[in-house]
């Protein structure tokens, strides 16, 4: 890991936390000290996030869970498998990474999620939701095969539990009767308020709240009574369990073969430890510990508004007010998508909008407000979302799935089998395509060109800016059949978004500038930097044509073949993996037409390796995907050609003389 400069700004001394450098040190504390450790962690997260931003609310809600887990279990021997990992800042702090927290999500710093190569305590890499139960079940089965006896604990949120994979794992775990502990972090929230029938079920369990609060508090009181406390507690617990068995609507878990412990106040570390100790005693199958938590717990003044504080930018520590960048910026692609969808939906009542648990992240939140009957949040269920859309299109609707490029990976077979094989009229708008920045490898959207380009019937496009994005949205909706558009995270470039969206010809590129013996063919976000690079080259006497490809499928074969016949150098540029990407499509076209011998083809994009987290500008520059990088690569490639030409001329002259 690169050397890090660590800011120092703790306003309040972390009394207990500053001496806890590992879970072993935590485990030396007395149970009644755990709340104080939790308070220290909460304060430290708040102070740090107020400066740099991060998954503040999600992690604040899981502070006591982190403390209780590392106290009750012998980590890392016992395996903790966190789902998503966005809520695990407390876990990071307790597992030797406390002082690195201020580097989280920054280049060279801690990952914002979990990585096996970052810590022995991160037993399974995460970032996408609903994976923890499957991974934990696999670990538990492996443990049993090897004759080992440690515990395996999956920690999963209520919304991730409703994800398809998690439900599949529940199904198998109940059947196998493997010893496995599931800690359900139930805060009634996804990023947006949780949706779905499972949420309703969990809410009904919550309804017995008064009784359970009482139970946890009484538990603490009894434990604190010297000598008799433990015996009194055990007696009370027997009564409590009998009441719980009668009161709790645990049918779903019971029927599926899980034992149920709960629910427990997820902000009471001692109650949590007790529940986890109880879970450890279950030897004959999986057990679920149901903890009730509050997302954003402790967030100043805004504790109630935890929807907005799932993840935050920097904020004022005293008030919680967010610190906005002072410079007004161009609208974000996400916002332009939401606005344009509303316009298009107003004109065509067949258009419907779908999101898989990302209403705010995709701009569908505005649509849900304006067209509640024609827009759906399906929860963390990308696969279902795509086939749900396919069903709608069979009946004449025009569904638009707004799903991040990285999360659409989940639904590949649904795209192939349910949409494209049947040539159904489903559209995919892929936000966060390209390098996303701080969220890093699990969230970069670098594969969508490769995985969609190979599927018959699919039309694939990427706008050069937010104005053209509006044109493409109209074009997609008027096109009959599957189509997908990718666009980057963040702000547009200031293009006109007030004009009426234009209908574009499918498979037709746009020439941005013309001339010279070089052609730069750029896709999507790389078009404007390519134009800037060409201007720089022109100032140095190298003229270049710049093409905005617009479509990778179908390619503008006419234009590309003409360029291949007339130019000496063609450079393709894309913000995606090179393998199978846009440049590959151009190379295939030239190869199929026997033109690769006559022209030098250079493909610029992201190499075949895992791309770390960090400032997107920095990462793009690292791979030459900015105006400077394109300029340099074109110039170098051109100079090689010129040197070769000079060499050939020299040889020809020598041969003649
Ligand atoms: C496959 C996938 N889809 C969407 C997301 C985006 N996402 C990250 S956290 C989150 C909400 C998770 O809710 P829950 O499991 O209840 O945990 P909480 O954040 O409430 O602690 C979502 C939708 C993701 N990480 N993975």
- The alpha carbon of 655 and the centre of ligand 1 are apart by a number of angstroms equal to 70
Whether 410 is a known active-site residue: answer yes
Q: What is the rounded average pLDDT for all residues in the chain?
A: 91
Strand order across the beta sheet in which 259-265 lies: 79-82, 152-157, 180-186, 286-292, 259-265
- The alpha carbon of 127 and the centre of ligand 1 are apart by a number of angstroms equal to 9
Whether 370 is a known active-site residue: answer no
Provide CB contacts within 8 A for 609, sequence distance 6+: none
Mutate to test the pocket of ligand 1, among 54, 59, 114, 191 (most ligand atoms within 8 A of CB): 191
pLDDT score at 33: 97
Judge if the upstream peptide bond of residue 406 is cis by omega within 30 degrees of 0: no
What atom of ligand 1 comes closest to residue 158's alpha carbon? 16
What atom of ligand 1 comes closest to residue 191's alpha carbon? 11
Mutate to test the pocket of ligand 1, among 55, 155, 160, 381 (most ligand atoms within 8 A of CB): 160
Query: Which whole number is the average pLDDT over 243-247?
Result: 46
Three-state DSSP state, 443: coil
Chain segment 96-111, per-residue pLDDT in tens: 999 999 999 999 999 9
* Ligand 1 contact via 55 beta carbon (within 6 Å): no
Q: Are strands 286-292 and 259-265 parallel, antiparallel or unpaired?
A: parallel
Contact yes or no for 272/68 (Cβ under 8 A): yes
Confidence label for 15 from pLDDT (cuts 50, 70 and 90): confident
Residue among 382, 466, 574, 575 flagged as catalytic: 382
Whether 19 shows a pLDDT value over 90: the answer reads yes
- The alpha carbon of 43 and the centre of ligand 1 are apart by a number of angstroms equal to 24
Contact yes or no for 118/45 (Cβ under 8 A): no
Residue identifier of the C-alpha nearest atom 17 of ligand 1: 157
pLDDT score at 573: 99
* Ligand 1 contact via 191 beta carbon (within 6 Å): yes
* Ligand 1 contact via 357 beta carbon (within 6 Å): yes
Query: Which whole number is the average pLDDT over 417-442?
Result: 98
Structure tokens at 193: 């308020």
Look at 33-37, 208-212, 292-296 and tell me which has the smallest mean pLDDT.
Answer: 208-212
Strand order across the beta sheet in which 518-522 lies: 510-513, 544-548, 518-522, 569-577, 600-606
Residue among 115, 215, 240, 295 flagged as catalytic: 295
Look at 16-25, 28-37, 198-207 and tell me which has the smallest mean pLDDT.
Answer: 198-207
Give the whole-angstrom CA distance, residue 430 versus residue 451: 13
Provide CB contacts within 8 A for 642, sequence distance 6+: none
Chain segment 432-453, per-residue pLDDT in tens: 999 999 999 999 999 999 999 9
Look at 181-185, 216-220, 279-283, 462-466 and tell me which has the smallest mean pLDDT.
Answer: 216-220
Closest CA to 194 of 407, 368, 377: 377
Confidence label for 324 from pLDDT (cuts 50, 70 and 90): confident
Whether 178 shows a pLDDT value over 60: the answer reads yes
* Ligand 1 contact via 415 beta carbon (within 6 Å): no
- The alpha carbon of 42 and the centre of ligand 1 are apart by a number of angstroms equal to 21
Give the whole-angstrom CA distance, residue 194 versus residue 175: 28
Look at 62-71, 114-123, 255-264, 474-483 and tell me which has the smallest mean pLDDT.
Answer: 255-264
pLDDT over 90 for what percent of the chain? 80
Structure tokens at 592: 């199929």
* Ligand 1 contact via 407 beta carbon (within 6 Å): yes
Whether 505 is a known active-site residue: answer no
CA–CA distances in Å: residue 511 to residues 490, 500, 536? 25, 21, 18
Whether 413 shows a pLDDT value over 70: the answer reads yes
Chain segment 194-234, per-residue pLDDT in tens: 777 777 777 766 665 544 444 555 556 656 666 655 665 56
Instruction: Identify the sign of the CA torsion 585, 591, 592, 593.
Output: positive
- The alpha carbon of 579 and the centre of ligand 1 are apart by a number of angstroms equal to 29
Structure tokens at 333: 């692609």
Whether 12 shows a pLDDT value over 70: the answer reads no
Whether 190 shows a pLDDT value over 90: the answer reads no
pLDDT score at 39: 97
- Helical H runs in 540-626? 557-566, 582-592, 616-622
Structure tokens at 330: 């161009």
E strands within 113-224? 152-157, 180-186
| Residue that wins the pLDDT comparison between 2 and 405 | 405
* Ligand 1 contact via 185 beta carbon (within 6 Å): yes
Mutate to test the pocket of ligand 1, among 59, 156, 159 (most ligand atoms within 8 A of CB): 159
Give the whole-angstrom CA distance, residue 545 versus residue 569: 10
Please identify which residue in the block is written with the tokens 């198998």: 172
Whether 625 shows a pLDDT value over 50: the answer reads yes
Chain segment 129-171, per-residue pLDDT in tens: 999 999 999 999 999 999 999 999 999 999 999 999 999 999 9
Give the whole-angstrom CA distance, residue 100 versus residue 113: 14
Whether 275 shows a pLDDT value over 80: the answer reads yes
* Ligand 1 contact via 189 beta carbon (within 6 Å): yes
Look at 173-177, 513-517, 530-534, 547-551 and tell me which has the smallest mean pLDDT.
Answer: 173-177
Structure tokens at 60: 């604040």
What atom of ligand 1 comes closest to residue 185's alpha carbon? 21
Judge if the upstream peptide bond of residue 330 is cis by omega within 30 degrees of 0: no
What atom of ligand 1 comes closest to residue 310's alpha carbon? 19
Chain segment 601-624, per-residue pLDDT in tens: 999 999 999 999 999 999 999 999
* Ligand 1 contact via 128 beta carbon (within 6 Å): yes
pTM of the entire predicted model? 0.92
Confidence label for 2 from pLDDT (cuts 50, 70 and 90): very low
* Ligand 1 contact via 129 beta carbon (within 6 Å): yes
Give the whole-angstrom CA distance, residue 303 versus residue 114: 26
- The alpha carbon of 619 and the centre of ligand 1 are apart by a number of angstroms equal to 25
Confidence label for 307 from pLDDT (cuts 50, 70 and 90): low
- The alpha carbon of 494 and the centre of ligand 1 are apart by a number of angstroms equal to 31
Confidence label for 245 from pLDDT (cuts 50, 70 and 90): very low
Give the whole-angstrom CA distance, residue 632 versus residue 53: 34
Q: What are phi and psi of 62, to 5 degrees?
A: -110, 15
Q: What are phi and psi of 287, to 5 degrees?
A: -135, 140
pLDDT score at 412: 98
């Amino acid at each position: 890991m690169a050397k890090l400069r660590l800011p120092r700004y703790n306003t309040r001394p972390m009394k207990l936390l500053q001496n806890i450098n590992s879970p072993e040190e935590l485990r030396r504390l007395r149970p009644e000290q755990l709340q104080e450790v939790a308070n220290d962690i909460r304060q430290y997260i708040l102070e740090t996030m107020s400066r740099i931003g991060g998954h503040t609310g999600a992690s604040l809600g899981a502070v006591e869970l982190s403390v209780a887990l590392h106290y009750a279990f012998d980590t890392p021997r016992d395996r903790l498998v966190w789902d998503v990992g966005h809520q695990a800042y407390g876990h990071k702090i307790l597992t030797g990474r406390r002082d690195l927290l201020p580097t989280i999500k920054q280049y060279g710093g801690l990952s914002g999620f979990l990585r096996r190569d970052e810590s022995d305590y991160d037993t399974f890499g995460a970032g996408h939701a609903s994976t923890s139960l499957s991974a934990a079940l696999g670990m538990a089965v492996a443990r049993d095969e090897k004759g080992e006896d440690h515990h395996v604990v999956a920690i999963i949120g209520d919304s991730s539990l409703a994800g398809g994979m998690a439900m599949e794992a529940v199904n198998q775990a109940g059947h196998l009767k493997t010893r496995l502990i599931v800690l359900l972090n139930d805060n009634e929230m996804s990023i947006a308020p949780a949706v779905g029938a499972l949420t309703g079920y969990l809410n009904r369990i919550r309804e017995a709240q008064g009784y359970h609060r009482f139970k946890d508090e009484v538990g603490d009181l009894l434990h604190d009574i010297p000598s008799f406390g433990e015996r009194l507690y055990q007696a009370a617990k027997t009564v409590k369990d009998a009441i719980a068995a009668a009161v709790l609507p645990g049918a779903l878990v019971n029927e599926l073969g899980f034992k149920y412990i709960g629910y427990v106040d997820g902000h009471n570390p001692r109650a949590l430890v007790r529940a986890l100790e109880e879970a450890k005693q279950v030897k004959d199958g999986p057990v679920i510990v149901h903890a009730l938590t509050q997302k954003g717990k402790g967030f100043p003044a805004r504790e109630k508004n935890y929807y907005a504080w799932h993840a935050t930018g920097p904020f004022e520590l005293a008030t919680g007010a967010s610190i906005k960048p002072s410079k007004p910026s161009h609208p974000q692609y996400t916002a332009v998508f939401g606005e344009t969808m509303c316009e298009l939906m107003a004109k065509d009542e067949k258009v419907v909008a779908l999101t898989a648990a990302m209403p705010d992240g995709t701009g569908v939140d505005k649509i849900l407000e304006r067209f509640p009957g024609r827009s759906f949040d399906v929860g963390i269920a990308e696969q279902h979302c795509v086939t749900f859309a396919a069903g709608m299109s069979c009946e004449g609707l025009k569904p638009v799935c707004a799903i991040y490029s990285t999360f659409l990976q989940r639904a590949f077979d649904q795209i192939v089998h349910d949409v494209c094989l049947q040539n159904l009229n489903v559209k995919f708008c892929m936000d966060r395509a390209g390098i996303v920045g701080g969220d890093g490898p699990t969230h970069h959207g670098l594969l969508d060109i490769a995985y969609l380009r190979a599927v018959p019937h699919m039309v694939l496009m990427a706008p050069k800016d937010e104005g053209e994005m509006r044109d493409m949205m109209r074009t997609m909706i008027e096109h009959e059949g599957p189509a997908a558009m990718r666009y980057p995270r963040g702000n547009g470039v200031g293009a006109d978004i007030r004009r009426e969206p234009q209908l574009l010809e499918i498979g037709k590129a746009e020439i941005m500038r013309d001339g010279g013996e070089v052609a730069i063919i750029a896709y999507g976000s790389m078009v404007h930097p390519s134009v800037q690079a060409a201007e720089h080259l022109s100032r140095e006497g190298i003229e270049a044509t710049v093409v905005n490809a617009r479509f990778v499928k179908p390619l503008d074969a006419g234009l590309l073949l003409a360029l291949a016949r007339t130019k000496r150098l063609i450079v393709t540029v894309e913000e995606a993996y090179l393998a199978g990407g846009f440049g590959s499509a151009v190379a295939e076209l030239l190869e199929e037409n026997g033109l690769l011998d006559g022209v030098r083809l250079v493909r610029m994009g992201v190499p075949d390796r895992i791309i770390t987290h960090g400032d997107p500008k920095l990462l793009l520059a690292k791979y030459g995907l900015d105006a400077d990088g394109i300029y340099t690569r074109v110039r170098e490639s051109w100079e090689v050609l010129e040197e070769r030409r000079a060499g050939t001329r020299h040889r020809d002259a020598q041969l003649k003389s």
